[in-house]
Amino acid sequence: MKKSALGCGAVLLLGIVVLVLVVVGGYNRLVRLSQATNSQWAQVQNVYQRRADLVPNLVATVSGAANFEKSTLTEITAARASVGQVKIDPNSAPADPAKLAEFEKAQGALSSALSRLLVVSERYPDLKASASFRDLQAQLEGTENRISVERGRFNDAVQAYDTAIQSFPAVLYAGSFGFRAKPYFTAVSGAEKPPQVQFDFNKPAPAKP
């Protein structure tokens, strides 16, 4: 009996050790995946900030064109200001879908305003001679491409993390350790493409009033 009890105790102890190792290993994996989403979120924030930093110089350059539409400049300035009002921790991926949606909405408004500004710019031939404008346009298009890439990578990181916390056996303990599902960037039609602008500098600028 004594040997049997000892054998059962050893098996039970071994089972506990294996269970602890499984939980510890799973926990560490979730930590790594969570940190990966945070790291990728920081990259997303960086490229969006890069775009926001380009806006003042772009506005200053474009506003030098004769009779450039003031409403367009007002719109892009207001859109950039709205982006700055959405406060999200740059080092931690948002867990609140509503907060990420607010961030997306503000960034989308800035994207639309930038697209319209560049389209309107087609009607101003004098901008063709501006090296500053051409440089800013190239930087902006490059940044839009980076935004698309980093958003995609962020969604990939979130997918890996969300899948892990919902898979067995992590699903049994992930919530107890504070691991919660994170939201994705939503797919918006055309959002994955940078503004496509074909400049036609042969069109005359609007006549002065």
Note whether 183 and 94 are within 8 A (CB): yes
The model's pTM is 0.81
pLDDT of residue 100 exceeding 70, the answer is yes
Give dist(CA 43, CA 154) in Å, integer: 8
Which range in 14-28, 31-45, 67-81, 195-209 is most confidently predicted, on average pLDDT?
31-45
- What does the domain layout of the chain look like in residue ranges? 45-194
- What's the rounded mean pLDDT across residues 156-167? 96
Tokens 């930087």 correspond to 139
Q: Which amino acid is at 209?
A: P
